[in-house]
Structure 1
Amino acid sequence: MQPEDEHRRRPSLSMPILRIARHQHETGALTIGNLLAALGEASFGWALVVFSLLTFLPLPPGSSLITALPLLVITLQMMLGFRYVRLPRFLSRKALDPEKLRRAVLRLRPVTRRLERVLVPRQTWIFARRNERALGVLLFVIAFALFLPVPFSGWFPAVSMFIIGVGLVERDGMVTMIGLVFGGASVVLTLSLLASFAMGADAMIDAAI
């Protein structure tokens, strides 16, 4: 017989978000600020999770210019050594559509299912206070890659931010580092696409001349 802890299933990462969003929607209080407060007292981990989810909402092309802005704000706050997320009032009071949020969560289920199997507190040195600013710098660079309106690249930095956020919430340094590696690869991909588009534009200009 296997030990009991091997049979114990880890709680779903998605359920707290969906449960709180449903309750707040029923009471007419579903806003970004209220959702974050209910999830984790404005911690950076939950902020990364929620705002990366917003990039997966069904929005028109180019919307990453808007959805990435909150990620730039909170990663900048990490760089500056803030202890908690401080959202601008207009952003904190922004209402959310629970159905669109649910669809965004479901789009990331393949990722969350895999994370749920491996998450455990480990390599917690990465979360030490002395490392927070450096971590904020790396996250800001990834968020900036998401901010750039480069076709076919936005999905990758958004997923990496989601993974890193989950790692912060669960104090899993290994998952956080995996997210950082994935984020670094997404930055390289974004820069490569930018260079490719720039060379293509130059070639078109030269041909026109």
Structure 2
Amino acid sequence: MGQTGTSFLILFLALPAITPIPGPFGMVFGTVLALISLQIMAGRQTIWLPGILSRRRLSHSIISNIVRYAAPIIKRAESFMRRDRLAAFTGHSVQMLLGIPIFLLAVIIALPIPFGNLIPVLALIVIAVALMERDGLITLIGLGLSFLAIVATFGLIYAGSSLLAGIRASIFS
């Protein structure tokens, strides 16, 4: 499926990471997204997956449920999309460069920050949909959300480390 398949894979792997379920979901999906982003940066048109994953097929019922629930949302999103709008931000070279923010967002998703995945996953969803629809304006919006996610994550890390330093100082003084 080329670029559309890559974009769908990003979308498919980002969505489970948005759920605030305890466990390693963020780390697992973030790690896989990071590996995919490295392949995007390398310019691969199709994504290589290990044999155990590439041989797997989704059942008809799973695909049917995804389509049934996603179709209204996709239809609404497509009303905002315009194919080839700002086309300079949708080509293969830009997709390779988008591997960088996708990688950073994937690393953020893998970090164990409670409720810290919302903005990074939202940014990945916007980037994936923009690449599927080849809409440069939406790609730029996704990049803006990526920047916001990175800044917010560094803010959370800084606030957390400052809080821990204050607690440590009060305990050992």
Q: How many angstroms apart in 1 are the aligned matches of 2:152 and 2:73?
A: 20
More displaced stretch, 123-132 vs 142-151: 123-132
Indicate the SS of the match to 2:79: helix
CA deviations 1:141-160 (Å, max 9, x no partner) are 12211121112211111111
- Equivalence map 1:18-37=2 (5 Å): none
Candidates 151, 162, 180, aligned match of 2:114: 151
In structure 2, stretches of 5+ residues that fail to align are: none
Root-mean-square deviation (Å) = 3.2
Aligned to 1:165: 128
Query: Structure 2-normalised TM-score?
Result: 0.81
Candidates 43, 50, 54, aligned match of 2:16: 54
Q: How many angstroms apart in 2 are the aligned matches of 1:98 and 1:56?
A: 24
* % identical equivalent positions: 26
CA deviations 1:117-175 (Å, max 9, x no partner) are 20111112112233332221122112211121112211111111111111111111111
Aligned to 1:140: 103
CA deviations 1:83-111 (Å, max 9, x no partner) are 21111223335677999999999998997
- Residue 57 of structure 1: CA displacement? 5.6
- Residue 193 of structure 1: CA displacement? 0.3
Aligned to 1:69: 31
Q: How many angstroms apart in 2 are the aligned matches of 1:141 and 1:80?
A: 15
Distance 1:98 1:195, change over 3 A: farther
Contact 1:57 1:100 in 2 (8 A): no
Task: Please state if 1:80 is matched with 2:53.
Answer: no
Q: How many angstroms apart in 2 are the aligned matches of 1:78 and 1:94?
A: 22
What is the aligned length?
171
Distance 1:140 1:197, change over 3 A: same
In structure 1, stretches of 5+ residues that fail to align are: 1-38
Query: Structure 1-normalised TM-score?
Result: 0.68
Letter in 1 for 2:47: V
Letter in 2 for 1:145: I
Higher relative contact order (CA 8 A, sep 6+): 2
- Residue 70 of structure 1: CA displacement? 1.6
Distance 1:145 1:56, change over 3 A: closer
Contact 1:72 1:144 in 2 (8 A): yes
Contact 2:3 2:132 in 1 (8 A): no
